Amino acid sequence: MCGIAGFWQLTHHDEAANRERLEEMNSTLTHRGPDEAGYFLQGPVGLANRRLSILDLEGGRQPVFNEDRSLVVVYNGEIYNYPELRRELEAKGHRFTTRTDTEILVHLYEEHGTEMVSRLRGMFAFALYDRHRGELFLARDPFGIKPLVYAELPSGFVFASELRALLTWPDFPRDIDLEAVHLYAAYNYIPAPYTIWKAARRLPPGHWMRVRAGRVLEIRPYFHIQGESRPDTAEEAVERLAQVLRDSVRAHLISDVPLGAFLSGGLDSSLVCALAQEALDQPLRTFTVTFPEWPVYDESRYARRVAQHLGTHHEEIPVTAREAQDALIDIVTHLDEPFADSSLVNVAIISKAARQHVKVVLSGDGGDEFFAGYNKYQGLRLAERLSRFPWKALVQAGSRLPWPERRGSRFGERVRQARKLARLFHSDAFERYYRATLAAEPELHARLLALDGASPDLPRRVLQEVWKAVHARGFREVNGWLWSDVAFVLPYDMLHKVDTASMRHSLEVRVPLVDVEVARTVAGLPGEWKLRGLERKWILKQVAARYFPKEILERPKGGFGLPIGEWMRGELRSLFEEHLFAEPVIWRSEIIRRLWMEHQERRRDRFWELWNIFVFEMWRRTWKPNL
Q: Which residues are catalytic?
A: 2
The DSSP 8-state label assigned to residue 402 in this structure reads P
Cα 303 from Cα 313, distance rounded (Å): 12
The DSSP 8-state label assigned to residue 493 in this structure reads I
Measured CA distances, 82 to 55, 122, 540 (Å) = 11, 9, 28
207-212 and 71-79: which strand pairing?
A: unpaired
Cα 168 from Cα 47, distance rounded (Å): 15
Cα 346 from Cα 615, distance rounded (Å): 15
Where are the extended beta strands (E) located within 52-206?
64-65, 71-79, 122-130, 135-140, 149-153, 156-160, 200-202
Q: Is there a contact between 476 and 329 (Cβ–Cβ < 8 Å)?
A: no
Cα 80 from Cα 367, distance rounded (Å): 19
Cα 515 from Cα 249, distance rounded (Å): 10
Cα 371 from Cα 245, distance rounded (Å): 13
Helix, strand, coil share (%) of the chain residues, nearest 5: 45, 15, 35
What is Dmax (Cα atoms) for the chain? 74
DSSP lists the bridge partners of residue 288 as 316
Q: Is there a contact between 13 and 31 (Cβ–Cβ < 8 Å)?
A: no
Burial code (b: 16+ CB inside 10 Å, e: under 16) for 180-206 equals bbbbbbbbbbbbbebbbbbbbbbbbbb
Cα-to-chain-centroid distance, residue 602: 32
Q: Is there a contact between 547 and 274 (Cβ–Cβ < 8 Å)?
A: yes
